[in-house]
Amino acid sequence: MLQQRYALITGASKGIGKQTAHLFAKNGANLLLVARDIDTLVSLRDELQEFSINVDIFSCDLTDENEIKSLFIKIKKVTKVIDIVVNNAGIIKSSMFSMTNSDTLKDMFQTNLYAPYILTQYATRMMRKSPYASVIFISSMMATKGGIGHSAYASSKSALDGMMKSLAKELAPTIRVNAIAPGVVQTDMIKTLSEDEKEEYTSKSLFKRLATPNDIATVILFLASDMSKYITAELINVDGGIC
């Protein structure tokens, strides 16, 4: 489905990013995997050796613009064209509105908005010659639904949704731009949730379970592939019908 294409995935070392890397590899994509922790990326590259694809790994602190620039200088030595970008890296910190200081707010926006914004600026300069160009952002159901203790996180993801819609208009028809809004996914990020919250989200899901990374990765694959070639500026909820 993605043969011969180069896909850049941020936050690739675990959770949704790691599962997406596996799914893309199964579908023939060459991978540019980005995360802070190079050791976990080395392990992941080893896991992906069974597939006949190129896997390049890059350690990068996406909150540092200079590191993002250096990342693309390195990527250009691997490929001149990027076909797919999955902006998956993100952070969540839970705190009540009155207990959220400006540093927490800035951290959240730095990682969840500024980093994908800057990274996508660089990436799209390498996507203009791709006939398959697709940018995918990982938003959150919190962006539109909100959540107690998640005002900072929800704000940053909501801003991401607005950026996605604008970017889709600016980059059409050359590059498609979409986002996925997962519900609560069984990854390290839900460590911030209490057991009561997990139970609440499980019971609210129409499937009576939390999402798996694969539930999200399959939709990422759909948006990355030609199956969605007439879809852009779209936010797809993958939240099990939580309302």
Partner 1 sequence: MQTEKLKQVFIEALGIDKNTNIENLEYNTIDEWDSVAHMNLIGEIEDAFEIMLDTDDIIDMSSFTKAKEIVSKYLKG
Closest CA to 141 of 109, 184, 107: 184
Q: Copy the structure tokens of residue 117.
A: 């914004």
Of residues 6, 153, 201, 230, which has the active-site annotation?
A: 153
CB atoms within 10 A of CB 119: 23
How far apart are alpha carbons 58 and 156 in whole angstroms?
Answer: 25
Asked if residues 32 and 49 have their Cβ atoms less than 8 Å apart, the reply is no
How far apart are alpha carbons 186 and 210 in whole angstroms?
Answer: 6
Write the single-letter amino acid at 231: I
Which residues within the stretch 169-228 sit at the binding site for partner 1 (CB under 8 A)? 170
How far apart are alpha carbons 100 and 199 in whole angstroms?
Answer: 25
Which one, 124 or 155, has the nearer CB to partner 1? 124
Is residue 153 flagged as an active site residue?
yes
Q: Copy the structure tokens of residue 148.
A: 């107690």
Which one, 125 or 229, has the nearer CB to partner 1? 125
Quote the least distance from Cβ 21 to partner 1, whole Å: 25
Among 80, 169, 209, 229, binds partner 1 (CB under 8 A): 80
Which residues within the stretch 91-130 sit at the binding site for partner 1 (CB under 8 A)? 118, 121-122, 124-126, 128-129
- What binding mask, one character per residue, do residues 40-69 give for partner 1 by CB under 8 A, x or -? -----------------------------x
Q: Which residues bind partner 1 (CB under 8 A)?
A: 69, 72-73, 76, 80, 118, 121-122, 124-126, 128-129, 170
Give catalytic residues, as residue numbers: 153
